[in-house]
Amino acid sequence: MAKIQVTDLTFSYDGSADDVFGGVTFSIDTDWKLGLIGRNGKGKTTLLNLLMGRYEYRGSIKSGTRCDYFPYRLSGRDPDKNAIDLLEKWKPQVETWQVLIRMNELKMDPECLYRPFGSLSFGERTRVMLAVLFAAENEFLLIDEPTNHLDTQAREIVKEFLASKKGFILVSHDRDLLDGVCDHVLVLNRSTIEVQAGSFSTWWENKEKKDAFLQAENEKHLKEIGKLKAAADRSSRWADKNENTKIGFDPVQEHDRSISSRSFIGAKTKKMQARVKSYEQRIEREIEEKEGLLQDIERVCDLKIEPLRFHKEVLVSANDLSLRYADAGKELFSGLRFQVRRGERVILSGENGCGKSSILKAILSRADSGEQRTDPGLLVSGDLEVASGMIISYVSQDTSFLTGSLRDYCKERGLSESLFLAVLRRLDLGREQFVKNMEDFSEGQKKKVLIAASLITPAHLYIWDEPLNFIDVFSRMQIENLIMQFKPTMLLVEHDIRFREKVASEVVGVGRPGSRNE
C-alpha cells in the first residue's frame, strides 16, 4: 500500500480569474477503489491531469507509484490503425498476452485488436482501452467517465470488471456504477474536499443527514440572532431615552426630581449601554458560528417544465416496425411494436448500434415533414404512425454544433434569454460561463445547454437521445424530480439504470427480431 498526499494544492487555468483548486489538502491510498464525485466544472478531470503531472501547480503532490490515464489520447491517423498497433504508444511496457487476459475478463473477442480502432463501437473502444490500462501492475489508474455512450450490457461488463480490481480513481456520474465498484469516495464539494469510506449511496445518505443537521443549526442561529438584535435595539432605545432625561425637567410634573439625580440617570444609562454592547458581542459570536454551515450543501433545486396536452391519446405508434439504412445489407431490427401515449415516459433500451437513435430520427422526420415519410436514406418497413400537428422538443446526443455565445443561441432558436439563463443557473452552470463561447464548455455543460433549451420549450412530446451523458449526479436528480412532478410525454434513449428505474413508465427493448416491450 502506498499513499498519494496532496498538500496545499492551488491551480488555475491561464487567463482565469478564479482558482479551480485553492489550498486543497487530502490523502488517499493507492489500493482503494475510489469514486471521484462533483458537479460539472468542479475540476474532476483537472485533478486527474494534475495527478498525471500534465499541468503546473502550486503546493505538492507526493506519490510513490506511477499513474496511467483513461481514455488514451488519439491523434492524427490513430483511428485508422489496428488497436494492437496502438499498444506501443499507449503502454509500451506491456505484452500483447497481458492485454488479451484483460480482454477475456471484459468478454471481448481478441479479433478486436486486429481491426482499425476507429471501426470499433464505443463499447469496444472503451473495453480495449481498459484492457490495456489494467494490463500492467503496480500502477494507480485514473479512469475518466468510462461508461458514456455505453449500452446497458456493456456497462454491466465494465462494472463487473472494475469491481474485481483495485487501485484506481473512477470519475463517473452513474450511481449504479459507483455503488457497484467503489469502496471510498473523494468528493469535490462546493467549498471543500472530503474523503470518506463507502459507496456513493452511503456518502449521499450521510450527506443528507449532515445537511439536515446543519440547516437546523443554521435556523437555530438565525432565530437567536434575531432575538439578540431585538433585545439590543430595545435596550439601546431605552438607554437613549433615559440619557435624554438628564438635562431639563418640568418642576410641576417631576416635583420629586432635583439636579442631583443626573448622576443616577448617567449610571443607569451606562449600565444599559453595557448591556447593548454585550448583546452585540453575542450577536457576533452567533454569526461566526453560523458562517460556513451551509457552504457545502447541495441544493437540488426544483426545475419547471410546461408540457402541452395533445388532443390525441396515442402520439406515436409502431407496429411490426423494421428499419434499414439504404447502404446497409441488413436490417437494424425487425418486428418492433410500441406506443407512446399521452403522459407516458417510454425509454428505448438495447445494445449500441441496434437502431434506437434511428427510431428517434424516423419519428422526427415524419413529424417535421407533416407527412408519413422519413429520411430517404432510412428505409422503413411496417407501420410507424406519428400524430400530425405535434410540437416536439428534441435533445440530441451530439453537442459538436454548439458554438458561439449563449445570447446568439437564444436568438437563433427564439428562446427567452433571461428564462434560459435562469434554468442554466438552476442546473448549476456558473455565471462566469455565460460570457464564454459554447465551444469552450465541457461536455457536461454543453449537455445542460441542450436540456435547458428543451425544458423552456412547451411541447407535446419530448424526445431526448442519451441526455445524461456527462451530466453530474446532482443535475440527474433534478431532472428526475422534474419529470416525476410534471409527467411530460417523453420518448428517451438512456442507459442510466437508476434514472430508468425512477422515471420510465415503459421500457422497450430494441435490436432483436420480433422485439417486444421489456
Per-residue confidence in pLDDT tens, the chain, 518 aa: 689 999 999 998 887 777 889 899 999 999 999 999 988 888 899 999 999 999 999 999 998 899 999 999 998 899 999 999 999 999 999 999 999 999 999 999 999 999 999 888 888 899 999 999 999 988 999 999 999 888 888 899 999 999 999 999 999 999 999 999 999 999 998 778 899 999 999 998 888 888 787 777 777 767 776 776 776 676 666 666 665 555 555 555 555 555 556 566 666 667 767 776 776 777 666 666 665 555 555 555 567 888 999 999 999 999 999 998 877 778 889 999 999 999 999 999 988 888 899 999 999 988 865 444 445 678 888 999 999 999 999 999 889 899 999 999 999 999 999 999 988 988 888 888 898 999 988 888 999 999 999 999 999 999 999 999 889 888 898 899 889 989 999 999 999 999 999 999 999 999 754 444 44
Asked if residue 231 is part of any domain, the answer here is yes
C-alpha cell at 403: 458554438
CA distance 200 to 180: 9
Provide the β-strand partners of residue 186: 36, 195
Q: Tell me whether residue 305 is in a domain.
A: no
- On whether both 390 and 261 belong to a single domain, the answer is no
One domain for residues 362 and 245: no
Same domain, 327 and 405: yes
At residue 67, the pLDDT reads: 95
Within a domain: 240: yes
End residue of a domain, out of 144, 172, 202: 202
Domain boundary among 230, 255, 290: 290
Amino acid in position 291: E
Both 221 and 367 in a single domain?
no
Residue 329 and residue 249 share a domain: no
Is residue 148 a part of any domain in this protein?
Answer: yes
Helix, strand, coil fractions of the chain, as percent rounded to 5:
40, 20, 35
> Within this chain, do residues 258 and 370 fall inside the same structural domain, yes or no?
no
What pLDDT, on the 0 to 100 scale, is given for residue 260?
55
Domain assignment present for residue 297? The answer is no
DSSP states of 271-299: HHHHHHHHHHHHHHHHHHHHTTTTTT---
Closest Cα to residue 69, out of 5, 2, 133? Answer: 133
Q: What pLDDT is recorded for position 442?
A: 85
Mapped onto helix, strand or coil, the DSSP state of residue 459 is: coil
Q: What is the pTM of this model?
A: 0.73
Task: Cell 410540437: give the residue.
Answer: 391
In a domain, 295, yes or no: no
Q: Where are the alpha helices (DSSP H) in 294-398?
A: 356-369
Please check whether residue 518 lies inside any domain of the structure.
no
Distance CA 472, CA 172 (A): 8
Domain hosting residue 179, numbered range: 3-202
**Do 247 and 383 fall into the same domain?**
no
Other Cβ atoms closer than 10 A to 28: 19
How many domains is the chain built from? 3
**242 backbone dihedrals φ, ψ, rounded to 5°:** -65, -40
Q: Residue 496 sits in a domain of what CATH number?
A: 3.40.50.300
